[in-house]
Amino acid sequence: MKRKTLTRTLVDAAKDLNFPKATIDKLEELNIPEVAELTPKHIRAIRQELNASQGVFARMLNVNVSTVQKWEQGSVRPQAAALKLLNVVREHGAKVLF
């Protein structure tokens, strides 16, 4: 079964709750992009692209060094806000963090 996009989920919920058509139309216009899953190799590449050590990268993302290490080793995967932030940094670089 194919997973629904965030936009589709919001639109369906708004319809179920009988939101006004204008609100539903605005939600459909948002077209919120999906957050890509990142492999340990991707995460390491993002950090290396920034020429940052694991410690510096951790400070940039406001996480523990051990978290970055675990992401890069593949023993833990970034979730929720951390995954979104990594995707944003991957797309736009470190400038979005400062």
- pLDDT score, position 3: 66
pTM of the entire structure?
Answer: 0.72
Reply yes or no on domain 40-97 having CATH 1.10.260.40: yes
To the nearest 10 degrees (0 to 180), the angle between helices 80-92 and 40-49 is 50
pLDDT at 11 over 80: yes
Domain range summary for the chain, segments of one domain joined by +: 1-34, 40-97
**Helical segments of 1-98, H only:** 6-16, 21-30, 40-49, 54-61, 65-73, 80-92
Mean pLDDT rounded to a whole number for the chain: 91
pLDDT at 1 over 60: no
